[in-house]
Amino acid sequence: MRSIVYNGVDLSEWCSAEVIEKVALPIVPETMVVPGRAGALLVSGRIPPRLVRVRLFMDAGFRPGTNGLADIRHRVYSALCSTAGGTLRLPDKPELEYRDVLCTDAGSWSTLFEDGEGEVLFTLLDPVAYGRARSESGASFEVGGSWPTWPTFELVASTGSAAQVGCGGAFVRVEHAFAGGEIVRIDCEGEGVTIDGADARVDVSLSSDFFSLSPGSCELSFTGCSSHVTAFHERWL
Protein backbone atom coordinates (compact mmCIF):
# COMPACT_ATOMS: atom_id res chain seq x y z
CA MET A 1 0.00 0.00 0.00
CA ARG A 2 1.76 3.15 -1.19
CA SER A 3 -0.92 5.76 -0.58
CA ILE A 4 -3.93 6.53 1.58
CA VAL A 5 -7.38 4.98 1.29
CA TYR A 6 -10.09 7.49 2.16
CA ASN A 7 -13.76 6.51 2.20
CA GLY A 8 -12.85 3.36 0.29
CA VAL A 9 -11.05 5.28 -2.49
CA ASP A 10 -7.43 4.18 -2.91
CA LEU A 11 -5.34 7.13 -4.09
CA SER A 12 -2.50 4.80 -5.16
CA GLU A 13 -3.66 5.09 -8.76
CA TRP A 14 -2.68 8.75 -8.80
CA CYS A 15 -0.43 9.53 -5.81
CA SER A 16 2.05 8.01 -3.40
CA ALA A 17 1.94 9.26 0.20
CA GLU A 18 4.11 9.94 3.22
CA VAL A 19 2.64 10.29 6.71
CA ILE A 20 3.93 13.13 8.88
CA GLU A 21 2.76 12.11 12.33
CA LYS A 22 3.38 13.51 15.78
CA VAL A 23 5.52 11.52 18.21
CA ALA A 24 2.74 11.43 20.81
CA LEU A 25 -0.87 12.49 21.25
CA PRO A 26 -1.30 15.73 23.20
CA ILE A 27 -3.62 15.56 26.20
CA VAL A 28 -6.08 18.35 26.96
CA PRO A 29 -6.06 18.94 30.74
CA GLU A 30 -9.24 19.66 32.69
CA THR A 31 -8.26 21.80 35.69
CA MET A 32 -9.69 23.88 38.50
CA VAL A 33 -8.35 26.81 40.44
CA VAL A 34 -7.61 26.16 44.11
CA PRO A 35 -7.28 29.24 46.32
CA GLY A 36 -3.78 29.53 47.72
CA ARG A 37 -2.34 27.01 45.30
CA ALA A 38 0.03 28.05 42.55
CA GLY A 39 -1.04 27.10 39.05
CA ALA A 40 -4.05 24.81 38.87
CA LEU A 41 -5.24 21.43 40.13
CA LEU A 42 -5.48 18.66 37.54
CA VAL A 43 -8.95 17.14 37.56
CA SER A 44 -8.69 14.91 34.51
CA GLY A 45 -7.33 14.77 30.98
CA ARG A 46 -8.92 13.91 27.67
CA ILE A 47 -7.65 12.92 24.26
CA PRO A 48 -8.70 15.49 21.64
CA PRO A 49 -9.27 14.71 17.95
CA ARG A 50 -6.07 13.52 16.30
CA LEU A 51 -4.40 15.56 13.57
CA VAL A 52 -2.46 13.69 10.88
CA ARG A 53 -0.57 15.37 8.06
CA VAL A 54 -0.02 13.47 4.83
CA ARG A 55 2.25 14.54 1.99
CA LEU A 56 0.90 13.45 -1.41
CA PHE A 57 3.24 13.00 -4.37
CA MET A 58 1.90 13.05 -7.91
CA ASP A 59 2.84 9.54 -8.99
CA ALA A 60 0.67 8.05 -11.74
CA GLY A 61 3.37 5.69 -13.05
CA PHE A 62 3.22 7.22 -16.53
CA ARG A 63 3.36 10.65 -18.16
CA PRO A 64 -0.30 11.71 -18.26
CA GLY A 65 0.31 15.06 -19.94
CA THR A 66 -1.28 18.39 -19.04
CA ASN A 67 -4.88 17.28 -19.41
CA GLY A 68 -4.20 14.01 -17.62
CA LEU A 69 -2.59 15.82 -14.68
CA ALA A 70 -5.57 18.14 -14.40
CA ASP A 71 -7.86 15.12 -14.40
CA ILE A 72 -5.80 13.48 -11.62
CA ARG A 73 -5.96 16.61 -9.48
CA HIS A 74 -9.72 16.79 -9.83
CA ARG A 75 -10.05 13.11 -8.91
CA VAL A 76 -7.96 13.73 -5.78
CA TYR A 77 -10.09 16.78 -4.91
CA SER A 78 -13.23 14.73 -5.30
CA ALA A 79 -11.89 11.81 -3.25
CA LEU A 80 -10.94 14.04 -0.32
CA CYS A 81 -14.07 16.22 -0.33
CA SER A 82 -16.47 14.59 2.11
CA THR A 83 -18.60 16.75 4.38
CA ALA A 84 -19.96 13.70 6.19
CA GLY A 85 -16.55 12.33 7.12
CA GLY A 86 -15.39 8.81 6.48
CA THR A 87 -12.73 6.17 7.05
CA LEU A 88 -8.99 6.51 6.55
CA ARG A 89 -6.20 3.98 6.10
CA LEU A 90 -2.59 5.17 6.12
CA PRO A 91 0.27 3.58 4.16
CA ASP A 92 2.46 3.08 7.24
CA LYS A 93 -0.22 0.97 8.99
CA PRO A 94 -2.64 -0.36 6.36
CA GLU A 95 -4.16 -2.93 8.71
CA LEU A 96 -5.68 -0.17 10.87
CA GLU A 97 -8.69 2.00 10.04
CA TYR A 98 -9.67 5.36 11.47
CA ARG A 99 -13.31 6.40 11.49
CA ASP A 100 -15.07 9.78 11.61
CA VAL A 101 -12.28 11.42 9.59
CA LEU A 102 -12.42 14.72 7.72
CA CYS A 103 -9.88 16.40 5.46
CA THR A 104 -9.83 19.79 7.20
CA ASP A 105 -6.89 21.58 5.56
CA ALA A 106 -4.64 21.37 2.50
CA GLY A 107 -1.60 23.14 1.14
CA SER A 108 -0.82 23.97 -2.45
CA TRP A 109 0.69 21.71 -5.08
CA SER A 110 4.40 22.55 -5.35
CA THR A 111 4.00 22.40 -9.12
CA LEU A 112 1.28 21.36 -11.55
CA PHE A 113 3.65 19.02 -13.39
CA GLU A 114 4.46 15.32 -12.85
CA ASP A 115 6.69 15.98 -9.81
CA GLY A 116 4.06 17.98 -7.91
CA GLU A 117 3.52 17.36 -4.21
CA GLY A 118 1.40 18.85 -1.45
CA GLU A 119 0.20 18.31 2.12
CA VAL A 120 -3.27 17.59 3.42
CA LEU A 121 -4.42 17.59 7.03
CA PHE A 122 -6.84 14.99 8.34
CA THR A 123 -8.76 15.45 11.58
CA LEU A 124 -9.49 12.12 13.22
CA LEU A 125 -12.52 12.81 15.42
CA ASP A 126 -12.17 9.28 16.79
CA PRO A 127 -8.41 9.18 17.49
CA VAL A 128 -8.26 5.45 18.32
CA ALA A 129 -7.82 3.18 15.30
CA TYR A 130 -9.82 0.02 14.60
CA GLY A 131 -7.80 -3.13 14.02
CA ARG A 132 -8.90 -6.61 13.04
CA ALA A 133 -12.37 -7.85 13.84
CA ARG A 134 -12.50 -10.66 16.41
CA SER A 135 -15.16 -13.21 17.23
CA GLU A 136 -14.78 -15.53 20.24
CA SER A 137 -17.08 -18.34 21.36
CA GLY A 138 -15.15 -19.12 24.54
CA ALA A 139 -15.16 -17.32 27.88
CA SER A 140 -11.38 -16.86 28.05
CA PHE A 141 -9.21 -15.22 25.37
CA GLU A 142 -6.60 -12.54 24.75
CA VAL A 143 -7.69 -9.07 23.69
CA GLY A 144 -5.20 -7.49 21.31
CA GLY A 145 -4.58 -3.81 20.74
CA SER A 146 -3.47 -1.00 23.03
CA TRP A 147 -6.82 0.54 24.00
CA PRO A 148 -10.06 -0.80 25.56
CA THR A 149 -12.68 -1.98 23.09
CA TRP A 150 -16.48 -2.16 23.33
CA PRO A 151 -17.77 -5.70 22.71
CA THR A 152 -21.03 -7.02 21.32
CA PHE A 153 -22.42 -10.23 22.79
CA GLU A 154 -24.87 -12.62 21.18
CA LEU A 155 -26.37 -15.15 23.57
CA VAL A 156 -28.74 -18.05 22.94
CA ALA A 157 -30.97 -17.92 25.99
CA SER A 158 -31.80 -20.95 28.10
CA THR A 159 -35.22 -21.47 29.66
CA GLY A 160 -35.38 -19.20 32.68
CA SER A 161 -35.86 -15.68 34.00
CA ALA A 162 -32.55 -14.01 33.06
CA ALA A 163 -29.42 -14.09 30.91
CA GLN A 164 -26.22 -12.38 31.99
CA VAL A 165 -22.65 -11.66 30.87
CA GLY A 166 -19.99 -10.29 33.18
CA CYS A 167 -16.35 -9.27 33.29
CA GLY A 168 -14.64 -8.65 36.61
CA GLY A 169 -17.14 -6.80 38.78
CA ALA A 170 -19.19 -5.43 35.89
CA PHE A 171 -22.09 -7.26 34.26
CA VAL A 172 -25.13 -6.82 32.01
CA ARG A 173 -28.21 -8.74 33.15
CA VAL A 174 -31.32 -9.14 30.97
CA GLU A 175 -34.39 -10.17 32.98
CA HIS A 176 -37.04 -11.77 30.81
CA ALA A 177 -39.28 -14.85 30.76
CA PHE A 178 -37.18 -16.87 28.33
CA ALA A 179 -38.74 -19.95 26.72
CA GLY A 180 -35.29 -20.99 25.47
CA GLY A 181 -33.62 -20.39 22.13
CA GLU A 182 -34.14 -16.61 21.98
CA ILE A 183 -31.23 -14.59 20.57
CA VAL A 184 -30.14 -11.91 23.03
CA ARG A 185 -27.85 -9.26 21.53
CA ILE A 186 -25.99 -6.89 23.87
CA ASP A 187 -24.20 -3.88 22.36
CA CYS A 188 -21.96 -2.39 25.04
CA GLU A 189 -20.91 0.66 23.04
CA GLY A 190 -24.44 1.72 22.16
CA GLU A 191 -25.86 0.35 25.43
CA GLY A 192 -28.51 -1.47 23.42
CA VAL A 193 -30.15 -4.86 24.01
CA THR A 194 -32.48 -6.81 21.74
CA ILE A 195 -34.27 -10.12 22.08
CA ASP A 196 -34.93 -11.77 18.70
CA GLY A 197 -34.39 -8.36 17.11
CA ALA A 198 -36.88 -6.48 19.31
CA ASP A 199 -35.71 -3.67 21.60
CA ALA A 200 -35.33 -5.04 25.12
CA ARG A 201 -33.60 -2.21 26.97
CA VAL A 202 -36.46 -2.14 29.50
CA ASP A 203 -35.44 -5.69 30.49
CA VAL A 204 -31.93 -4.64 31.52
CA SER A 205 -31.57 -4.67 35.30
CA LEU A 206 -30.79 -1.35 37.00
CA SER A 207 -27.59 -2.81 38.49
CA SER A 208 -26.18 -3.55 35.02
CA ASP A 209 -23.10 -1.75 33.75
CA PHE A 210 -22.14 -1.94 30.07
CA PHE A 211 -18.40 -2.58 30.05
CA SER A 212 -15.38 -2.52 27.75
CA LEU A 213 -12.65 -5.14 27.34
CA SER A 214 -9.10 -4.08 28.19
CA PRO A 215 -6.09 -5.38 26.22
CA GLY A 216 -4.62 -8.57 27.65
CA SER A 217 -6.16 -11.63 29.23
CA CYS A 218 -9.97 -11.57 29.35
CA GLU A 219 -12.18 -13.76 31.55
CA LEU A 220 -15.92 -13.53 30.94
CA SER A 221 -18.76 -15.20 32.81
CA PHE A 222 -22.07 -16.21 31.25
CA THR A 223 -25.27 -17.43 32.90
CA GLY A 224 -28.71 -18.23 31.55
CA CYS A 225 -27.55 -19.11 28.04
CA SER A 226 -26.65 -22.25 26.13
CA SER A 227 -24.07 -20.61 23.86
CA HIS A 228 -22.49 -17.22 23.32
CA VAL A 229 -20.33 -15.25 20.90
CA THR A 230 -18.26 -12.18 21.75
CA ALA A 231 -17.42 -9.82 18.86
CA PHE A 232 -15.15 -6.78 18.94
CA HIS A 233 -12.48 -4.86 17.04
CA GLU A 234 -8.97 -4.51 18.42
CA ARG A 235 -8.35 -0.83 19.14
CA TRP A 236 -4.97 0.86 18.70
CA LEU A 237 -3.97 4.26 20.02
Residues 88 and 191 grouped into a single domain: no
On average, the pLDDT of the chain sits at 93
Residue 113 has pLDDT above 90, yes or no: no
Residues 16-43: tens digit of each pLDDT: 999 987 778 889 999 999 999 999 999 9
Tell which of 127, 155, 188 closes a domain: 127
Residue 62 has pLDDT above 80, yes or no: no
Q: For residues 27 and 33, what is the distance between their CA atoms, to the nearest angstrom?
A: 19
What CATH code is carried by the domain that includes residue 136?
2.60.120.860
Residues 156-186: tens digit of each pLDDT: 999 999 999 999 899 999 999 999 999 999 9
Q: For residue 75, give its domain range.
A: 5-127
Residues 113 and 160 grouped into a single domain: no
Residues 9 and 25 grouped into a single domain: yes
Instruction: State the total domains in the chain.
Output: 2
Tell which of 110, 127, 144 closes a domain: 127
